[in-house]
Amino acid sequence: MSTVHLISHGAVAEIRLDNPDKLNAFTPEMLESLEAHCSALERDREARAVVVSAAPSRAFCAGADITAWAPLPPGEFARGWVRDGHRIFDRLARLSKPTVAAIGAHAFGGGLELAATCDIRVISPTATIALPEANVGIVPGWSGTQRLARLLPEPVIKEMALFGQRLGAERTLALGFVAEISEDVNAASFALAERAAGLSPMSVETAKYMLHAAVGEDRAAMVEALGGGMVSATNDRQEGVRAFQEKRKPKFTGE
């Protein structure tokens, strides 16, 4: 059965795709599990960093499950498949914790878009990345022309999306798309995640919000979260709430 697991390793949590017979292609059930895991991770204060991995297979993820979306009429395809997937990938991209994608094998289409939701990536020397949607008559739909276009230069995205080019690991490193090439992507990804997990969680979370606000990843929510976090730490907030409860006029000090 295809699924996505959430596995706790103490301070590091692992989100693991598990559909190896179909090259870890994303089914609707997997999307649902991923969304539930993102919600659970936001509530889990023990988990301070996340590794996104996949069961061993010829692909880290070969994209969206073609047999699942192929029968959908256009309206349902747009609403139920593209927009749901997009929303759920956004959820992962906007997680308050640092994330690492362990690209142990090929990352195609939705698999590449999934890797792009992570803060950093590690790739195996034999893995490639590609946007093969034009081979099956569709277009990237889970942020491949949006978030990915922030991470890679436009001509490179065009090479993949318009010319069907696959990029090898060395090229992804030269482009800065991955942090490192490793024979053991899981070990390398966990090492990076452990390092992030040892840093100040509030510093890491706040820096992620600031960077996301700067690059336009959920900018409106990031700005409000940063402002909300700052003002909620003031004495004036406590005084305001106390005054409301005691039905009196608040005495604000500006501190």
Work out whether strand 128-130 and strand 167-168 pair parallel, antiparallel, or are unpaired. antiparallel
Q: How many CB atoms lie within 10 A of CB 127?
A: 24
Comparing CA positions, the residue from 104, 160, 151 lying closest to residue 131 is 160
Give residue 64's identity as a one-letter amino acid code: A
Determine contact, residues 82/46, Cβ cutoff 8 Å: no
Contacting residues for 186 by C-beta, under 8 A, at least 6 apart: 51, 53, 102, 104
Measured from the CB atom, the residue of 107 and 185 that comes closer to ligand COA is 107
**AA identity, residue 123:** I
Active site residue 170: no
Shortest gap between Cβ of 45 and ligand COA (angstroms)? 36
Q: Which residue, 35 or 65, has its beta carbon nearer to ligand COA?
A: 65
CB of 239 to ligand COA, least distance (A): 55
Indicate if 113 belongs to the active site. yes
Q: Which amino acid, residue 182?
A: S
Of 40 and 136, CB closest to ligand COA: 136
| Phi/psi at 216 (5° precision) | 90, 20
Annotate each residue in 26-65 with x if it binds ligand COA (CB under 6 A) or - if it does not, as one string.
Answer: --------------------------------xx--xxxx
Tokens of 9: 């390793």
Catalytic residue among 14, 133, 159, 217: 133
CA distance 144 to 152: 10
CB 142 within 8 A of CB 64: yes
- The footprint of ligand COA on residues 113-152 (CB under 6 A) is 132-133, 135-136, 138
Least Cβ distance, residue 44 to ligand COA (angstroms): 30
Q: Compute the least distance from the CB of residue 71 to ligand COA, in Å.
A: 13
Binding mask of the shown chain, residues 75 to 94, with x at each position contacting ligand COA by CB under 6 A: --------------------
- Active-site residue, from 14, 35, 113, 159: 113
Residues with catalytic function:
113, 133
List contacts with ligand COA (CB under 6 A): 22-23, 25, 58-59, 62-67, 106, 108-109, 132-133, 135-136, 138
